[in-house]
Amino acid sequence: LPELPEVETVRAGLERWVSGRVVAGVEVRHPRAIRRHLAGAADFEARLLGRRFGVARRRGKYLWLPLDDADSPGSALLGHLGMSGQLLVQPASAPDEAHLHVRIALADNGQELRFVDQRTFGGLLVDELIPAPDRSGDTVPELIAHIARDPLDPAFDEAAFVARLRRRRSGIKRALLDQSLISGVGNIYADEALWRAKLHGERLAAALTRPAVRALLAEVRAVLGAAIIAGGTSFDSLYVNVNGESGYFDRTLNVYGREGEPCNRCGTAIRRVAFMNRSSYFCPHCQRRPRAIRM
């Protein structure tokens, strides 16, 4: 499952290889891949043909490429990779991938942007851009305007995040996974950041001090930043790829997936508990469980 660092690697690849290019042809080979473009394949193709892609952007796990249409603020090609989606830049002569769903031919250089998705939970659409609600002069696709910025976004409002999080009557981990509060923090990175901040995920968000929230946010940024650097190292050829793997997983995980193994800080065995149909990993010594609250 691609998380923010993998998606950022794809965004950087799109910016390098696709931004500035003009769409010379569009072929939708599998309608499910554009099911969220409600006007259908012919409309999807018509709205892309002849348009030039602007600078690639990301919010949470969504990616978009603004289009140079005449209207302002215009529209964008918006994509989500889902469970297994890939955006590949390939020469037109490269054989079709087994699960090639959308092919976008780029003018001038004989290359194609290909959306490949084995499980088809991801997809593409052309969406309207609207003014960003939290920053004048900035735009965001309408469909994802409700998603909060991620903590690596230069416009992320740290003071507003701290204040909003401290009003939450939920556990801190659940708050970190709430896309309307902060985006891009998946299950793995939440567990890693909580371990680094020595906070148990079930601690009540509203009970944390401002300095504790700021320290946690710094650890979230550190974890995501390190993962982006690790993920980015594999991206150095004419190939935009995401497959949920990155070098980060081999080297840097302190708790996630390490049930029963010693904590890298204190040696206590890492614990795993069920959490929202997934798992939470933590060190029971470094990350003390909150005391039961008497009602």
List of residues contacting Zn ion (CB under 5 A): 263, 265-266, 268, 283, 285-286
Q: Which is nearer to Zn ion, 58 or 200 (CB)?
A: 200
In angstroms, give the least distance from the CB of 279 to Zn ion: 18
CB of 59 to Zn ion, least distance (A): 34
Contact 5, 231 (CB under 8 A): yes
Q: What's the rounded Cα separation, in Å, for the pair 97 and 74?
A: 32
For Zn ion, give the closer residue by CB, 64 or 282.
282
* Residues 272 and 284: beta-carbon distance below 8 Å: no
Q: Per the structure block, which two tokens stand in for 102?
A: 């959308």
Catalytic residue among 47, 57, 61, 164: 61
Quote the CA–CA distance of 191 and 173 in Å, as a whole number: 8
Of the two residues 209 and 268, which places its CB atom closer to Zn ion in the complex? 268
- For Zn ion, the closer CB: 52 or 285: 285
Gyration radius of the chain over CA positions: 21
Indicate which residue of 2, 5, 66, 151 is catalytic.
2
Q: Is 278 a catalytic residue?
A: yes
Nearer to Zn ion, 165 or 263 (CB): 263
What minimum distance in Å lies between the beta carbon of 209 and Zn ion?
22
What DSSP string runs through 187-215?
Answer: HHHHHHHHHHHT--TTSBGGGS-HHHHHH
The least distance separating Zn ion from the CB of residue 199, rounded to whole angstroms, comes to 12
Residue 170 burial class via C-beta count within 10 angstroms: exposed 0-12, middle 13-18, buried 19 and up: middle
Nearest to 241 by CA among 74, 85, 41, 46: 85
* Active-site annotation holds for 211: no
* Residues in contact with 107: Cβ distance below 8 Å, sequence separation at least 6, in sequence order: 21, 22, 23, 24
Q: How far is CA 225 from CA 26, 34, 149, 252, in A?
A: 35, 31, 15, 12
The CA distance from 258 to 254, in Å, is 8
Q: Which are the contacts of 36, defined by CB distance < 8 A and separation ≥ 6?
A: 123, 125, 143
Least gap, CB of 269 to Zn ion (angstroms): 9
Least CB distance to Zn ion at residue 253 (A): 14
Active-site option among 265, 278, 288, 289:
278
Assess whether 61 carries a catalytic annotation: yes
Secondary structure of residue 257 in the 3-state scheme: coil
In the complex with Zn ion, which residue's Cβ is closer, 54 or 284?
A: 284
User: 143 near 61, Cβ under 8 Å?
Assistant: no
The residues that are catalytic are: 2-3, 61, 278
